Amino acid sequence: MGNIHNSITELVGNTPIVEFHRLKKALGLKGRIAGKLEYFNPAGSHKDRMALEIIEAAERRGDISPDKTTLVEFTSGNTGVAMAAFAAAKGYKFKIGVQNGVSIERSKLLEAYQADIATDIPQELILGVFEKGIAAFSEVIEFMEKGVENPYSTRQLDNPDNINAHYKHTGPEIWNDTDGKVDIFVGGVGTGGSTHGVSKYLKEKNPNVKVVITQPDPNDVVNPIVNGVEDGGFHGIHQVHDDNGITPMAPANFNDGLVDEYRFISYAETLRAIHLLAKYEGIFVGASSGASLAVAIKLALESENEGKLIIPLLPDNGERYLSEDLQKIRPEVEEKVGF
């Protein structure tokens, strides 16, 4: 009867795709850009899909249940927020470790959902994650699991249910909502789960769909402080290559085999894309969205992409980073951007 939902977990997915007509006109774009607005997910990002799939797949296997299991994850980002929200909605205890420099908004959201924030992780273990890469995550998780009865590590970096969430839902939604007309998909890499799952699905439907991966400009990575903001130079997306190929920063859930092209984007281009989208479309997105949108804009300016439909995945909303002043226009940073 009626249309009353039983839980916010029922509201995950089916996010809208919006075509940016006014942006196209203002920039004289040749290609069409339509962004997938993942901030419409109930806990605010594309990570909701993964968090829910990881929990529910483990439930289906009989590995976890709210009465006995404590979920454990180490993350500074949207995964923690999504996991905290759905752990609460389903009645799980959730222990989270956070990396240094987590944004104020996200740490306050974890507090709001009453996640158990581990404050005793030794700094050398946390720093090890930056220094040694992904292998060091297991050491942190091992430390966090000590003394916890029935811990279940959700392991976003190598849990295949992260990929499955996007293969089962995000990819099909893009295919269906574009009537199979998508030409180019643009995404970024944190765990690699979203681009892996989406690309796998889209290429199975049409091998000609091109997958472009957004990467932070190496100059920004070398100079990680931009306008007073120190974030390791990644600005919300990770660099998965060095000069010789895949670095240890490429997580197990990332799949290089599904990528057609890598495009490098500077922080200035990211900010410019964010401001253009807010100005012309009334949509304010976060930094990783801005980076993928900047790639989409560059592609849409190229003659070979005339009339093509380009879908960037826009993971979250700019409100999640207000403390970083993403909305602020900085002429000294943005003046060299070519769009």
Ligand X SMILES: Cc1ncc(COP(=O)(O)O)c(C=O)c1O
Active site residues per annotation = 47, 288
Between residues 12 and 29, which has the closer beta carbon with respect to ligand X? Answer: 12
CB 276 within 8 A of CB 26: yes
Other CB atoms within a 10 A radius of the CB of residue 102 amount to: 16
Nearest approach in angstroms of CB 297 to ligand X is: 18
Q: How far apart are CA 316 and CA 277, in angstroms?
A: 13
Between residues 41 and 69, which has the closer beta carbon with respect to ligand X? Answer: 41
CB 80 within 8 A of CB 118: no
Residue window 36-75: x/- pattern of binding to ligand X, with contact defined by CB under 6 A = ---------x-x----------------------------
Between residues 29 and 85, which has the closer beta carbon with respect to ligand X? Answer: 85
CB 236 within 8 A of CB 294: no
The region of 58-66, 130-138, 177-185, 190-198 touching ligand X under the rule CB under 6 A is 190-198
Angle between helices 78-90 and 104-112 (to 10 degrees): 10
Q: Measuring CA to CA, how many Å separate 84 from each of 15, 93, 97, 119, 147?
A: 21, 9, 12, 16, 20
Determine which residue in the list 80, 151, 171, 193 makes contact with ligand X, applying CB under 6 A: 193
Determine which residue in the list 80, 192, 290, 318 makes contact with ligand X, applying CB under 6 A: 192
Nearest approach in angstroms of CB 84 to ligand X is: 14
Interface with ligand X includes 194 (CB under 6 A)?
A: yes
Task: Indicate left, alpha or beta for 169 from its phi (over 0: left) and psi (-120 to 50: alpha).
Answer: alpha
The region of 64-72, 88-96, 189-197, 258-266 touching ligand X under the rule CB under 6 A is 189-197
Q: What token pair was written down for 121?
A: 């992780």
The site for ligand X, by CB under 6 A, has a size of 17
Interface with ligand X includes 77 (CB under 6 A)?
A: yes
> Which residue's Cβ lies closest to ligand X?
190
Q: How far apart are CA 69 and CA 96, in angstroms?
A: 14
Residues near ligand X (CB under 6 A) = 45, 47, 77-78, 188-194, 236-237, 286, 288, 315-316
